[in-house]
Structure 1
């Protein structure tokens, strides 16, 4: 649905389109989420959903990506963009991460398209002039989401957004990682996927500090939230100017009245599916089990003959 006089809202307080930078009264309702906080948390645990945000004449449209990356997400993105020219567009992320290999595949696809990335919540701001599409910084980009953020040709993280990282782990044992047992096959899978993640990180122009910070945080510790200095050191941020990712925006201190902050994303949301292993690996395995946020595909080894 096309909205008249749409604006972009973003940044430390908010950022909006040039001549619409007055205060925006009324509740800003998330486009991709139910109005309630509990509904919002539930949606963010679901497989990633893509929404086209129409910004009309005064700013560039963007794509909202909310939820967990699963084995179906890369195809879902291709289906969503079929017949559309998305080259150079911006992806606005609000995600707890998901499947390692599928997040890597999706990130490589985004880089091929020259997409830009940022973190935020897409909303509709109710104003006297009508509804305005907007992006608020109250959002979370956790675990593998940080590496999807890295795929952007240009990358911006506003003050108020949260980028958090931790180790990849065997998904079915992340809830009680210390008490779980691990086989040589399990270690092979983890080390293989760390290698894939390292190659992807450097291919995307990320710094070694990103891998160091992420791989230093085990699943029994709280996720590490990257500071502004760390976002720079890891090369997750390439610009401090919102207009580089959402053309038409500029800084403003105008508040949006009535906004409700969102609860912190659960660390390991349920319902995320594992990525299928590459052919050479899948030939050695029988099944791939469900993987929670930031996990590694859990491949069960072939049954041994008695």
Structure 2
């Protein structure tokens, strides 16, 4: 048998074995939550979460037909809190990449799981092979305890020639790497896929999923930078979570004082009674420079932190505010502060009024 025929035979054998092992693996993972073997359905929960979360459930084989079913929910595009719960053995890699990109375009989040019997919580599910591309497509990617997430090499179609096998391997390798990079997932995940034969399945632990960036715990990385606002320098940090977006701006006043403004999604929560600075979960009182104004859906807290508070902010891991409303209700909004952001903050404070009251950042 020549090399081309041998390669084709191996691909076909791997495809059959992978299908058999996927079915066997589903029984071990939990017979009741085993995904459908037919083309995946996409349904919306009839009992939406009281917090405004919209739950979509995708269950079954990934193929070209699923994209149309997902597009049925296009009217939810851009809405916070739309979560697609995935339960699938995989299917077409081509369809998986297209569905992953579409999920990101719609701004939906993803989680591996199925609708729970109680209707108030989700249960563990299965997401293997091409399904992982859908998982990676989520803007916010959440962990469901005990769910199974597995990857392996993609397999050629049964009718593929040896030339098609090699061409598809090159095309899908490049497409997968670009996709993962665009989704903010480590391309090391592709290395794990490539190292796992199509006849096997590499299950990713929770630690693996975190280290590879496949899950992000419901929040994007904070972005910090120096900008110019009407000729003045402003240090700005922005971070989005599945429920809100928080922005912090540090500016230098005419009196060379550092002012801090925190913008958050506080719309509809009532009148703000008081605002406190939140540093690594600890709160301290601040005096607002003006009553907290609303700009569209965003509330802004503008205050002058004290010298000690400024020092604490520069060595913090997270900074934000805690808002107290009428009726004893509270909300907390914070943004992560990386070591690089801490250095920017320290430099900005020194630039504003020459203070030396900064700590060495050790991470």
Equivalent of residue 180 in structure 2, options 189, 201, 213: 201
Q: What is the aligned partner in structure 1 of residue 168 from structure 2?
A: 189
Once residues 186 and 77 of structure 2 are traced to their aligned partners in structure 1, the CA distance between those partners, rounded to angstroms, is: 30
User: Quick one: structure 1 residues 142 and 246, their matched pair in 2 at CA, closer, same or farther if it must change by over 3 Å?
Assistant: farther
Mapped contact 2:43–2:58 kept (Cα < 8 A): yes
Which entry has the higher C-alpha Rg, 1 or 2?
A: 2
SS at match of 2:116: strand
Q: Quick one: which of 46, 66, 69 aligns to 2:62? A: 69
Aligned residue in 1 for 2:140: 154
Aligned to 1:224: 202
CA distance in structure 2 between the partners assigned to 1:192 and 1:115 by the alignment? 27
Task: State the Cα distance separating 1:200 from its structure 2 match.
Answer: 0.8
Q: Is the 8 A contact 2:115 2:121 kept in 1?
A: yes
Q: How many residues align?
A: 192
Instruction: Specify whether residues 84 and 136 from structure 1 end up closer, same or farther in structure 2 by C-alpha distance, changes over 3 A only.
Output: same
Distance 1:67 1:82 in 2: 20
Return 5+ residue gaps in structure 2 as ranges: 1-29, 220-240, 245-363
Give a deviation string over 1:173-222, Cα, whole Å, max 9, x none: 8xxxxxxx9522321122111111111111111102210111111123x2
Q: Secondary structure of the residue that 1:201 maps to in structure 2?
A: helix
Which structure's relative contact order is higher, taking Cα pairs within 8 Å and 6+ residues apart? 1
Give TM-score scaled by structure 1 length. Answer: 0.57
Query: How far did 1:76 drift?
Result: 2.0
Of 79, 83, 87, 2:79 maps to 87
Paired residues for 1:1-306 under 5 Å: 41=34, 44-56=36-48, 58-59=50-51, 60-78=53-71, 80-81=72-73, 83-84=75-76, 87-88=79-80, 89-125=82-118, 132-137=119-124, 139-172=125-158, 183-220=162-199, 222-239=200-217
Higher strand share: 2
TM-score, length basis structure 2:
0.48
Tell me if structure 2 keeps the 8 A contact 1:54–1:133: no
Decide whether the 8 Å contact of 2:77 with 2:107 is kept in 1. no
What SS is found at the alignment partner of 1:207?
Answer: coil
Contact persistence 2:77–2:106 (CA under 8 A): no
Give per-residue Cα distances to partners, 1:59-113, cap 9 Å, x unaligned: 32210111111111111211x2255557331101111111111111111111011
